[in-house]
Amino acid sequence: MDASNKTLIQEFYTSFQASQSDLSARLAVLKAEGNAPQDAINALALDVAKLRKDLSDANAYLPSYDLRQYEQSLKSLEQSLDDLRTASAGKPKFSFKRKPAKTSACPSGPHPATTSNVASSSWASANSIVLSGHTRQRLTWSSVSSVSASTTDLSVTDLDSCIVDLCTGSASDAFPSLTAVHMRNVKNSIVILPHVKGSAMVHDMSNSVLAVGCHQFRMHTSTSVDVYFHIDSNPIIEHCTKLRFAPFPAALVEVPTPPAAVPNLSVQDFSHIRATPSPNWSVLPDEDYLRQEDWNRITTPDAGDLCELLQNFLSKSQA
């Protein structure tokens, strides 16, 4: 086996494992809801179909044993998706009425339709936490329910114009350590997460700032995001634009302090598999890096109007 094939096999393994983990987590979230919306099921089906196509394209260089293992894993995902469709078909739909949102100076954009911010009992039994369906709010650990397990996964979905701080403050010590984070459809927001023992998977994030420490980081279909991270491996991006990376800020002391710079940062862009540098990401310039006083304002509950804070720091991050 030549070196080029070995590289392709390793890259496919990394990509497939990350996609499988993300799809499995999304399936679990939709099953926990009990009445999954059809558009969410359709979106999941499209991503499963894409993974099927990726596997088909890789047939030429994958060893037969590896191919069988991938095929079994993919069939399991497809079966789970079929089961979800069957369980969701024909169920009566219901929704909670919500008061019209007040006029705000926050960045504009469509608001999530969901309002649930606490995991259902079935989801909690799976040792996972869900933070979903918030607009123009400051969210902390008090915004989610605690679970009895010492470790848990976190799902963050459908947020618009929010500040999420699950890292600073004494309350963070009372909650479980995170084994994985899955994020989808987060826009115009600042999200600060504690150290994650496993992977952080991000889909459809835009015009936002994300701070997280993790073992593996992967971002899909996202644009205009500044990522401050402490990571044990090279980050992976796909179908993304205007991403900027920086070391995790020392001001957020709840995660291990990263190096003062990002030496030899190597982002794997699966949408730009060429010898030339990817145009989809860059290192965050020093002049745009948020300073300690900036993070102090962001994480202080009474630091000022939420929308003004977002406009100030998101504008700076995307300058």
Q: Which tens digits make up the pLDDT trace of 107-154?
A: 554 444 333 333 333 333 345 688 888 999 999 888 876 555 566 788
Q: What is the mean pLDDT of residues 71-81?
A: 89
Packing angle of the helix pair 64-88, 3-33 (nearest 10 deg) = 20
Whether residue 215 sits in one domain with residue 126: yes
pLDDT over 50 at 95, yes or no: no
**Residue 279 in tokens:** 């145009």
Query: Helices 306-317 and 292-299: crossing angle, nearest 10°?
Result: 150
Which of 88, 110, 129 delimits the end of a domain?
88
Domain-located, residue 242: yes
CATH code for the domain of 26: 1.20.58.1250
**What pLDDT, on a 0 to 100 scale, did the predictor assign at position 148?**
54
Domain stops at, among 88, 110, 131: 88
Domain interval for residue 55: 3-88
List, for residues 221-265, the tens digit of each pLDDT value: 999 999 998 887 889 999 999 999 999 988 885 544 444 445 457
Which of 34, 63, 88 lies at the terminal end of a domain, its last residue?
Answer: 88
Range name among 169-183, 248-262, 268-282 with the lowest pLDDT average: 248-262
Q: Measuring CA to CA, which residue among 150, 265, 249, 247 is closest to residue 197?
A: 150
Q: What is the CATH number of the domain that holds 158?
A: 2.160.20.70
Lowest pLDDT segment from 155-164, 198-207, 309-318: 309-318
Tracing tokens 């191919």 back to the chain, one arrives at 67
Report how many domains make up the chain: 2
- How many other C-beta atoms lie within 10 A of the C-beta of residue 202? 26
Whether 130 and 225 map to the same domain: the answer is yes
Indicate the average pLDDT of the chain.
Answer: 78
